[in-house]
């Protein structure tokens, strides 16, 4: 009998339900449901419509029943840092605020009055992002103290959905590390830090690792969707799941702890895996973060602007009546010889009214050739990303003292063949591109390991390589 496993992968703009099973050692996927997502204005704040999202989760489960493909387990992953506070009746206090909401403005300074930015990094190893949960909680404490006083439960977004399905409250490790409130020494909440910040200690219960079984559906949920199954924790932070799906290439990859990867999408998350966090001053100054991974590995990585720039250009061109696919933009870029480069992490590219104008203005300000055509704009962006990857790889090798011969690109950006070619050329490393569905696959892997389909992560990663198209790009 075939065992189906279900990954519910929810991103900031959409979500999907993907069934997976193992056949003769290979993983087979089937997408069965997809839905839209996005932050909404609620009383002047950007929030998530968690009630609507949970209804979509249940609709996807009903689709499993209709197909007669009942999973033995399911897991949910989402974006990081966001959470809900629940009252004594398990109702949401306030709203499920989104990370782009401006409520955290100035909250970093409020935190630094209690603990300096340097000391906070030394304690947690997490790079500063103004939307980190540590600052969001300070916003609640400073602006809505009555909510903090009434709160009985704190749950990250996927933990909340798991609670609605099972009635069981668990806090998952990989997503919890993005709060900037977890100690890489104890690998649990930093309760001393939590007390320093005057956050209610009772809200933070011991953390659970990916692979932990949360529980079965409640009777009401089972009746509504038509079946029951076990809810298992994946790496509930989507990047944590994506990194689990980095394939192991037989006889070509370095040891399991020496992988170099880019989780490539709207953001490029470039890093390696460490067995111990690096909370050094050098690491902080280089702006690396130590996010928790499967089996207490650390995802030692840097956030790079990623394909957001080319996505924005594509949309802007379409609004002008110039419609291109990403493949066509890659092809146009490959024929250009413009030498200009931009700093992909410059704040001018974070949310400009016009990405094309931002690229042009940057080049002009640096007295570089100004791109004019769609192909030249794309060429500047792709070449700049590849150079940024080269520089980040060099930083990683300098800090870790390791030399990486291969670079894995997973996620949707792994399909950008021209960028992969440039990356191989710039870094001097062999690029292995794929799988594209890395987050859902990693979600499934945690469940499959928990149920014995694979004995460990190494075997699971070997299966990923055998199961999905992974393209090789050699440096030239």
Catalytic center residues: 238
Task: Give me 429's structure tokens.
Answer: 């490393």
How far apart CA 379 and CA 382 sit, in angstroms, is: 5
Q: How far is the C-alpha of 157 from the C-alpha of 175, rounded, in Å?
A: 9
Look at strands 171-172 and 182-183 and give their pairing. unpaired
Structure token pair of residue 369: 């050739």
Specify whether the CB–CB gap between 20 and 437 falls below 8 A.
no
Give the integer Cα–Cα distance in Å for 340 and 363.
7
Other beta carbons within 10 Å of 82? 27
Phi-psi region of 282 (alpha: psi -120 to 50; beta: other; left: phi over 0): alpha
Count other Cβ atoms within 10 Å, centred on residue 217. 20
Contact indicator for 442, 243 with CB cutoff of 8 Å = yes
The residue whose two tokens read 């076990």 is 230
The total of other beta-carbon atoms located within 10 Å of residue 316's CB is 18
- Nearby residues of 432 by Cβ (< 8 Å), 6 or more positions away: 247, 249, 406, 407, 408, 409, 470, 471, 472, 473
User: Are 125 and 290 within 8 A, CB to CB?
Assistant: yes
Q: CA-to-CA distance for 66 and 16, rounded, in angstroms?
A: 16
Task: Kindly state the helix (H) or strand (E) to which residue 85 belongs, with its residue range.
Answer: strand 83-86
Question: For residues 406 and 396, what is the distance between their CA atoms, to the nearest angstrom?
Answer: 13
Torsion of CA 430, 294, 133, 74, to 10 degrees: 110
| Residue keyed to tokens 């150079």 | 387
3-class SS shares of the chain: helix, strand, coil, % to 5: 40, 20, 35
Q: b/e per residue, 283-310, with b = 16+ CB within 10 A?
A: bbebebbbbbbbbebbbbbbbbbbbbbb
């Amino acid at each position: 009998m075939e065992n189906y496993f279900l990954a519910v992968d929810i991103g900031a703009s959409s979500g999907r339900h993907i069934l997976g099973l193992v056949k003769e050692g290979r993983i087979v996927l089937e997408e069965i449901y997809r839905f839209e997502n996005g932050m909404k204005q609620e009383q002047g704040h950007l929030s998530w419509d968690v009630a609507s999202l949970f209804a979509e989760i249940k609709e996807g489960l009903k689709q499993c029943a209709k197909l007669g493909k009942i999973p033995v387990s399911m897991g949910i992953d989402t974006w990081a840092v966001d959470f809900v506070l629940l009252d004594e009746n398990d109702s949401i206090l306030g709203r499920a605020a989104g990370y782009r909401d401006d409520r955290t403005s100035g909250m970093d300074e409020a935190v630094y009055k209690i603990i300096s930015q340097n000391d906070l990094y030394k304690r947690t190893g997490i790079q500063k992002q103004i939307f980190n949960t540590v600052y969001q909680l300070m916003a609640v404490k400073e602006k809505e103290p009555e909510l903090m006083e009434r709160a009985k439960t704190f749950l990250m977004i996927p933990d909340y959905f798991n609670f609605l399905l099972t009635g069981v409250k668990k806090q998952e490790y990989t997503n919890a590390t993005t709060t900037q409130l977890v100690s890489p020494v104890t690998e649990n909440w930093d309760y001393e830090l939590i007390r320093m910040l005057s956050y209610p200690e009772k809200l933070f219960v011991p953390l659970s690792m990916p692979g932990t079984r949360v529980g079965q559906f409640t009777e009401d949920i089972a009746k509504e969707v038509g079946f029951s199954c076990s809810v298992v924790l994946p790496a509930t932070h989507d990047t944590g799941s994506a990194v689990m799906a980095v394939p192991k290439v037989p006889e070509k990859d370095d040891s399991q702890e020496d992988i170099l990867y880019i989780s490539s999408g709207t953001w490029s998350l470039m890093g390696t895996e460490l067995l111990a966090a690096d909370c050094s001053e050098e690491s902080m100054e280089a702006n690396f973060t130590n996010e928790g991974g499967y089996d207490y590995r650390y995802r030692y990585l840097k956030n790079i602007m990623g394909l957001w720039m080319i996505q924005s250009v594509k949309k802007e061109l379409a609004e002008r009546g110039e419609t291109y696919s990403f493949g066509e933009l890659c092809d146009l870029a490959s024929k250009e010889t413009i030498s200009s480069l931009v700093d992909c992490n410059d704040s001018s590219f974070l949310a400009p009214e016009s990405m094309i104008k931002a690229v042009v203005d940057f080049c002009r300000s640096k007295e570089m050739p100004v791109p004019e055509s769609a192909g030249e704009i794309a060429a500047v962006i792709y070449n700049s990303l590849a150079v940024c990857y080269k520089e980040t790889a060099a930083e990683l090798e300098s800090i870790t003292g390791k030399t990486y011969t291969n670079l894995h690109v997973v996620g949707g950006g792994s399909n950008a063949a021209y960028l992969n070619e440039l990356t191989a050329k710039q870094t001097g490393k062999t690029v292995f591109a794929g799988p594209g569905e890395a987050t859902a696959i990693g979600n499934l892997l945690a469940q499959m390991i928990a149920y014995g389909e694979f004995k460990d992560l190494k075997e699971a990663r070997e299966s990923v390589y055998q199961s999905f198209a992974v393209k090789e790009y050699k440096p030239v």
